[in-house]
Amino acid sequence: GNSVTQMEGPVTLSEEAFLTINCTYTATGYPSLFWYVQYPGEGLQLLLKATKADDKGSNKGFEATYRKETTSFHLEKGSVQVSDSAVYFCALSDQGTGRRALTFGSGTRLQVQP
Amino acid sequence: NAGVTQTPKFQVLKTGQSMTLQCAQDMNHNSMYWYRQDPGMGLRLIYYSASEGTTDKGEVPNGYNVSRLNKREFSLRLESAAPSQTSVYFCASSEESGLGNEQFFGPGTRLTVL
């Protein structure tokens, strides 16, 4: 079946540091890949997505590249801010399984200190 | 334009009690979903509805029932609550249930079963 594995948190960084959150996946078909962000007390919001191999998703300074050869979709940002503190979820959508929903990783909490 | 709304925001039940979680979306989306979020486990799909009049089981459907009342509303019912159902419940919707389509999430319902 499908699965998504994320690095465990929390990840604690100082403001302006470089961020990488690792995500790898297992899927039976050709998935689309997503990063969602959850701010404290809120629901999830889509951060970025990529629908095919070698696509790069980007938004708000965050980037992730769909790497089929390594089954990865690592999230990066060059300079984090305190306002980026949140929980980040990697997810996939795989039509090959017939399931019409997302499979999520366990989430990675990011804490950015001033 | 409120997006996805959920009621209630918080609920405490005793074991064996029943309740219905309400969800509504105003984006004219065809597909709606119910997830539960547990610590360290990401979000897991309980039930989904690909279109009005249809519902299907997700990964963890036991102990739950759903109703797609109309295109806007998708409710989740716990007939006899158990402590294992203590969780945060998220409703989501998307325009279509295929690949690459963004899901929009509600703010969540935090449920505690004593």
For chain B, give the DSSP string.
Answer: ---EEEE-SEEEE-TT--EEEEEEESS--SEEEEEEE-TTS-EEEEEEESSTT--EE-S--TTEEEEE-SSSBEEEEESS--GGG-EEEEEEEES-SSTTPPPEE---EEEEE-
pLDDT band at residue B88 under the 50/70/90 scheme: very high
Contacts of A33 in chain B (CB under 8 A): none
Q: Which residue has the higher pLDDT, B58 or B96?
A: B58
Q: In this model, does residue B47 exceed pLDDT 70?
A: yes
Nearest residue, CB atoms, B45 vs list A44, A101, A105: A101
Give the model's pLDDT for residue A31. 87
Check whether B107 has a pLDDT greater than 70. yes
Q: What is the CA A15 to chain-centroid distance, rounded?
A: 20
> pLDDT tens across A68-81, in order?
999 999 999 999 99
Contacts of A104 in chain B (CB under 8 A): 42-44
Tell whether B98 lies on the interface with A, counting CB pairs under 8 A. Answer: yes
CA Rg, chain B, in Å?
A: 13
The larger pLDDT score, comparing residue B99 to residue B71, is at: B71
Chain B partners within 8 Å of A89 (Cβ): 42-43
In chain A, the N- to C-terminal Cα span, in Å, equals: 41
CB pairs below 8 Å between A and B: how many? 61
pLDDT for the residue numbered B15: 97
